[in-house]
Amino acid sequence: MARNFRVLVLILIFILNLSACSSPKGAYVTSKDDYEYSNPADADEAQFAAGENSMMVRQVIYQVVLKVSVSDVDKTVEVLKERAAELGGYVSNSVRETHNNKPTARITFRIPQAQYPQFLDFARDQGEPGSETLNSLDVTEEFVDLEARLANGRLHEERLLAMLAQTGTVTELLSVEKELARIRENIEVIEGRLRYLKEMTAMAKVEIHLEELPGETDIPGLKPVGFRETLRRSLRALVKSSTFFLDVISFLFIVLAALLPFAIPVALVLWLIIYRRRKNKSAKNSAS
């Protein structure tokens, strides 16, 4: 019995060491060669149990950066904080600066993924929105992969614990405990990565850049407009009016081109009529 136990221990440790050596020492433990099963049926069962739900729901990380020009940076920051709290979010980072007597702020919010579009609409309404950038990262495949490897690692842990419960030599027990410690360390790393991904997918990252421009109005119901915005709108109006004028001229040329085939015969008939009238009038004057 003891001899069979030693053989079993040596075979299992040899298989686990082969799996561990397939990736560099100290590398990320979720490589595709980690936690190989000795029984394919067990592997399929763990893969199904770990990835069943993750494969049905897309896991996406959203990050948004929005710039807004406002009349009062401090007031806007407080309003945004209140709205974020109402939606179940919070402030993860806040930076306020003043350059040339112009206050600015960069506030990073974590907003529940289902609520962040509402928060963006609210932020845009606080002033004159500028540039906006949206980045998304689909981590569904990584979720499924990590959950499958976590299930594999836990199966190995259970097997090693069962072997520890059996009798054996001190050397064999120490070898099993060493391998068990390695497997548990890998499991902890995977669990930490899963917790991070779950937090990132549950809460969207919304970064709001606020800029206070001089000469802006603070009339309720109206967005603040500064000199640069006035100039931008004036140029836009000039371009629109110029475009409309050119469109009218172009339309007239098109109409004239369309009527040209009909205008030539009509003009010829009119010329003949005028010519005959003038000729008849000249003849009458000569006769008199």
pLDDT at 164 over 90: no
Which residues contact residue 96 at a Cβ distance below 8 angstroms, ignoring those fewer than 6 apart?
73, 77, 103, 104, 105, 106
Q: Span 158-187, mean pLDDT?
A: 83
Residue 225 backbone phi and psi in degrees, to 5? -130, 125
* pLDDT score of 81: 93
- The pTM assigned to this predicted structure is 0.51
pLDDT at 224 over 80: no
> Please, which pLDDT band fits residue 71 given cuts at 50, 70 and 90?
confident
Evaluated on CA atoms 268, 273, 274, 280, the torsion sign reads positive
Q: How far apart are CA 145 and CA 156, in angstroms?
A: 17
Across the range 278-288, mean pLDDT stands at 73
Read off the pLDDT band of 121 (50, 70, 90): very high
Pairwise pLDDT comparison (47 vs 263), residue with the higher score: 263
The more confidently predicted of residues 1 and 31 is: 1
Which pLDDT does position 8 carry in this prediction?
54
pLDDT by residue (tens digit) across 15-38?
555 444 443 333 333 333 343 333
Q: What is the pLDDT of residue 282?
A: 75
pLDDT-derived band at 220, boundaries 50, 70, 90? very low
Q: Does position 252 have pLDDT exceeding 90, yes or no?
A: no
**pLDDT tens sequence across 7-16:** 555 555 555 5
Q: How does residue 161 score in pLDDT terms, banded at 50, 70 and 90?
A: confident
**DSSP class per residue in the chain:** -HHHHHHHHHHHHHHHHHHHHTS-TTS-TT-TTSS--SSHHHHHHHHHHHHTTTTTS--EEEEEEEEEEES-HHHHHHHHHHHHHHTT-EEEEEEEEEETTEEEEEEEEEEETTTHHHHHHHHHTTSEEEEEEEEEEE-HHHHHHHHHHHHHHHHHHHHHHHHHHS---HHHHHHHHHHHHHHHHHHHHHHHHHHHHHHHHHEEEEEEEEEEPTT----TTS----HHHHHHHHHHHHHHHHHHHHHHHHHHHHHHHHHHHHHHHHHHHHHHHHHHHHHHHHHHHHH-
Q: Give the whole-number percent of the chain exceeding pLDDT 90.
A: 22
Beta pairing partners, 138: 60
What is the per-residue pLDDT across 107-120, written as a single tens digit (0 to 9) for each? 999 999 999 999 99
Asked if 108 and 207 count as a contact pair (C-beta separation under 8 A), the reply is: yes
